[in-house]
Structure formats: C-alpha cells, structure tokens
Structure 1
C-alpha cells in the first residue's frame, strides 16, 4: 500500500508543472474571458460595466461581424477540402512505386519550413499590382488583374497561400497513415479486378478515414483561426472593403483598436462555439472511429 501511495505521489509530482501551466495559461484565461464577455470593458481606464448579453446583440447587428462570418466560412469551405484532397493524392503518389527526384521532394517541404509571415510577404510580392503573377497573366491573356486591391480577389490570394503552405505537412500525415495499410487489401482488390482508381476509392480512402478526420479537423481549426496572413495583407484593416476581415482579425480590432475587450471576448466565445459545432458535425459525417469507414 505504501509503495502504491509513493508511486501515485511521484506521478502527481511530475504532472504538477504541466497542470499548473494549464491552469494558469489556459483554464484561468478561459474563465476570465467568459466573465468579461458580459461586461463593457475599457482597457485603458480598467473599468467594467455589466451589460449582460448586450455585447452579443451589438455584434449580431454589426455589418463587420457578418462580413467576418462570410469571409471565414468562405475561406474554410474552399481551403479545407482542397488542401485535404491535394495532400492525400500527393501522399498516394509518393507512396507508390513512382520515383521522385530528391530535389523535387525538398522543394515541396520548403513552404512548411517557412514562417507564415514570410510566406505572406512573398505572396504579396507575387500578387501586387506589378507582381510576377499579375505580369504573367497580362503577358499571356492581355488582362491586367489587381488581386490585393480587388475585394473579389483579395481573399483568394490568402486561400492559395494557405493551401500552398499547409499541403506538405498534411501530405506527410497521410503518408504515415498509408504505411499502416496492409498490402493484402490491395492484392485482394486487384484479384477481384479493381483498377487503381477503384483501389484508391474503396481501399485507401476508407482505411485513411481516421487520418482524414485529423487532417480535416486541424484544417478547420487553422482556417477558423486565420489571422496573421489577413492582418499583414490588409495592414490590420481587413480591407479592401472588409473582404479579408476574419473572425480573429475582428477580435483583434475590437480588443486593441476599439478598446472593447467585452465584445472581443464575446466574439471569441462565438468562434469557439462554431469550431466545436463544426468539428462535431465532421466527426459524425466522417465516422472517424471506424477504421474501414
């Protein structure tokens, strides 16, 4: 009995630093943010005024909230499926008997190793009004496009950049999952006359369902929390015409530009609720707990 008690004490002792860090840096801030969203908070004067649910009613009547809502969901709906499909297909190609040049593989991983801030600056250089992409389109089609200053195209630049930078990481995740699929499944499918495409659809995809759930979930969370790219491209304004305004950028504006921490925490709570709900729906649709779909 004494030895078991000593072992438990030793275990809790080792866990204590991590538990304290989680309590101080995660649980306490979450609880405090939940408390603040019912107040009108002036960060400069440090005053708080209880307003109940008024912060939520103000948000729901704010056009910028709905612009951020539309932009964020548009971003998620476009980016998550495309980056997941491309990553899976590339992983399957790498896992096949096709030989790839080492230089090509190295280049593929560069976006993952590059910081998002540096990547954003590179894409701003590529897509600015005199950038490489704009000049290339002009020389090929005779059309002078303005991406960063066009409200209809500015968000698409961030979408392309995110897909380009996240696909290599998710490709490695899929590749690790492919290593665990028994070769006997492909042999049985081949004997039954299944083509390579049918083997991919009926063997590879179902077997990768838990990995797919992870990739989709991480993609959803990352896309819903998109901030730095939108901030750098728009210089913190979410422009042009709120076309790059996202939830997290709007939270930043409310907290540090409008000096309204109450509405900022209320919006953060709404964003957390949206992420939780969408993740639960994805879990139900993908049936991640079933290896064979």
Structure 2
C-alpha cells in the first residue's frame, strides 16, 4: 500500500504551472525552443532577421546590463520595425535581470510599434512573450488578458503552432488560478493544434492525474512518451501516475530510467527521493 507521506508528496509533485530552473530564464529558453520547433515544422521564421538584433540578444545573455544600455541607445534613433527590435532586445535583457514586469510591458510596447510595418507573426510572438513574462512574474490574471491578445494575433496571422503554445500557456495560468476545467479545455485545444507536441500531452497527463483521472492520465503520458522517448520530465510523471495507480514496479522502472537518462538533473533527484520512499514503505 502507498505510504501516506509518499501519497502526499506525489499529489503535490510535478504540475502544469511549474517551471524548471534553467541557466537561461524559462521564458527565453521557451522562446528559442519554440522557434526551433516551428522552423523544423516548416513555419516561417517569426522573428525578423537582423544582425543588430541578433548581436543585442547574444549580448543580453553574456552581459545583460550592457545589452540593456545598448538597446536604449539603439532605441533612441530607431524608427518603424527597428524600434520593435530594439524594444525586444531591451525586454530580453530585462527578463534576464529578473525584471519580468518591465519585460512584459516592453514586449507589449514592441508589439504596438508601427503595426503596418511589423510582420503579424512577429507581433503574435511579442504578445506571447509578454504573457509569459507576466506568468513568470506571478501576475496571472493580467497574463490571461495578454494571452487573449496573443491568441488573436496568432489567429489573425494563421500562426497555428503559436496558437497551440498559447493554449498551453493559458492552461498554466488557469491551473495557477485553480480553474482546472478551463485548463483542461485549453490543453485540449493545444493537443489539437500541436498533435505532435510531447509537452502538450505531458501537461495534459499531469493535469488529469492531479484531478484524479488516472486512466486518462495514463493514456496521455503514453502518447507523450511515444513522441519523446528520452525525456526525464515525462519519465518522472509516468512513474507518478503508475504508483498512484498501484503499479509500483512500473513506477520504479520509470524513475530509475530518469536517473539513468539524466543523473544530474532535478528530475533525477526527485526520482531518487521517490524511489527511496517507495523502498522504505
């Protein structure tokens, strides 16, 4: 039988609103991941190609304070779309400094600059970045408002991949507000828009598990695993679902696979803790 301690630990474990700690701020890491995925899927590049912008963004990761100064100097003489680019870099630097509220407002200002000259997909991305910054800042209700703007931008520009990502972000916000039913609807929309997104299926599994629908959670996590077979995060959640379903040996295999796959990761540390509790019950 599952120990009371382990049961409580697993119930408050991985969840759709949680964000991993990475060397690069989560929103920025997400932005780059999404760009790579969209280019691989044939989506057009949605950030304008600019040597100056690329240079400023690179500087923002290496020397954030200097990048912020550079962006301000660039902004002083910029017009049209270059103002959006300068503001994007400033927002990027602000996010790296942990100034998430400032970053959100900067991205929104960038979105509003010279709408006639700015690619609609770029505007959609900027509004999505602003929403992510607000989520990171904990301003969830405002984030939902901006996500509505982002979704309209993405819909108007036919940016299907981003529409799915925005649905995932809406789910994160709704979970944080305790609106699980609405979050489930948002994740359903994400799966429809991004049927090959392991992340959409993983978060769907996690939410289903948290509301006690273990059969659905198992189905979702199996799909996530088939799409991304070497994922510590998926392996960790698979073990959680298994142990709550009374499948201790399956849980043990899943958690051990996480340790074998990424022994230095936070997921591996959590998996090790779960295994020790399982062995000591």
Give the alignment's TM-score, normalised by structure 1.
0.23
Q: Choose between structure 1 and 2 for higher RCO, CA contacts under 8 A separated by at least 6 residues.
A: 1
Q: Radius of gyration: which is bigger?
A: 1
